[in-house]
Amino acid sequence: MSMTEIKPSAATLDKQLIASYSHINPGKIIRWTLLFMGGVVMVMPIVYMLSTSLKWPHEIYNLSIIPDEPTLENYIFVLEDGRFYKWFINSLIIATATTVSAVLFDSMVGYALCKFSFRGRMFVFIAILSTLMIPTEMLVIPWYIMARDFGWLNSYWGIMFPGMMTAFGTFLMKQFFETVPDDFLEAARIDGLNELQIWWSVAMPLVTPALSALAIFIFLGNWTAFIWPLIVTNSPDFYTLPVGLTTFSVEQSVQWELIMTGAALATIPTLIVFLVFQRYIIRGVVMAGLKG
């Protein structure tokens, strides 16, 4: 039996070609172009950071993305320099402790403002919200005076105390607790839990997405914080990474390759935090979809 191959005619092929391209309309092209440009703006600094960290000092003002002679010397230098570890640990302790504290206290205050009715509740809420309108730069001086008077200069506590609780977090958590039905809390109350247990074991698990989002914001904010840690510390022992990295630029010249190497290393924990908590955000959203 002979097989006959059916070949599409040239006209059919043209039509198919037109059809396959017809869904690319001008609007789509503009959207994609804008997205691409946005992506380039976001990604290029990171690409240059990585590229510079792999260059020799004499090559850093050569703006080629791929180094002529790639080297890991900068990484070896930074990692062998004991100060980097110290700053890394400082940053890690400060960002972690601040995140834990802020997530706990913000959600506790947000919960109280949302689920308990007491005299002056609105006033307290507005007072907390109004602090969002004051820029950090203005708060730095009173914080500094406070830290100096209490003897908190050059200490972890001095760096951490302004961020142990945040107005933004309180607002965010209060809004999220609004979505937790009162029935859940009342059922737990009847089952014999006290208010602290209800908050911890019933309300908190129901707002995991918000907690994760808040944890990411606060951790990143503290990890990259620069002005306040710079002002409140003057001993390299208490420098955080962003502050410490600047010391590579204060001596004879700016050692960009070392700053970029430190910065590249500093992004690792933020990536980990994001990847870990992102999973919880997705799980939380799935859980939030469960209705009666």
Partner 1 sequence: MATVALKDLVKTFDKTEVLHGINLEVEDGEFVVFVGPSGCGKSTTLRMLAGLEEVTSGEIHIGDMMVNHLEPKERNIAMVFQNYAIYPHMSVRKNIGFGLRTAKMPKADKEKRIDEVAAILSMSELLDRRPSQLSGGQRQRVAIGRAMVRDPQVFLFDEPLSNLDAQLRTQMRLEIKKLHQRVGTTIIFVTHDQVEAMTLADRIVIMKDGYIQQVGTPTDVYQTPANLFVAQFIGAPSMNMLEGKLTDRGIALDAGFTIPAKPKNTSQDITIGIRPSELTPAKEGEPALMEGSVSVVEPLGSETLIYVDIGATEIVATVPGRILPELGAKVRLIAPEEEIHFFDTKTGDALK
Sites of contact with partner 1 (CB under 8 A)? 181, 183-184, 186-193, 202, 205-206, 208, 286-287, 290, 292
Closest to partner 1 by CB, 52 vs 208, is 208
Q: How far is the CB of 205 from partner 1 (least distance, A)?
A: 4
Q: CA torsion 156→159→163→165, rounded to 10°? A: 40
Question: What stretches of the chain show up as alpha helix (H) in DSSP?
Answer: 10-22, 26-53, 73-80, 82-115, 121-130, 136-150, 156-160, 167-177, 182-190, 195-198, 204-206, 208-223, 227-232, 241-245, 256-288
Q: How far is the CB of 87 from partner 1 (least distance, A)?
A: 38
Q: How far is the CB of 278 from partner 1 (least distance, A)?
A: 18
Q: How far is the CB of 195 from partner 1 (least distance, A)?
A: 11
Q: How far is the CB of 196 from partner 1 (least distance, A)?
A: 13
Using CA atoms, how far apart are residues 266 and 46, in angstroms rounded to an integer?
12
Closest to partner 1 by CB, 65 vs 286, is 286
Using CA atoms, how far apart are residues 100 and 225, in angstroms rounded to an integer?
16
Is the Cβ–Cβ distance between 228 and 162 less than 8 Å? yes
Using CA atoms, how far apart are residues 105 and 110, in angstroms rounded to an integer?
8
Closest to partner 1 by CB, 67 vs 209, is 209
Closest to partner 1 by CB, 114 vs 160, is 114
Using CA atoms, how far apart are residues 86 and 137, in angstroms rounded to an integer?
27
CB environment 31-40: b (16+ within 10 A), e (fewer): eeeeeeeeee
Q: How far is the CB of 212 from partner 1 (least distance, A)?
A: 14
Closest to partner 1 by CB, 151 vs 181, is 181
Closest to partner 1 by CB, 133 vs 290, is 290
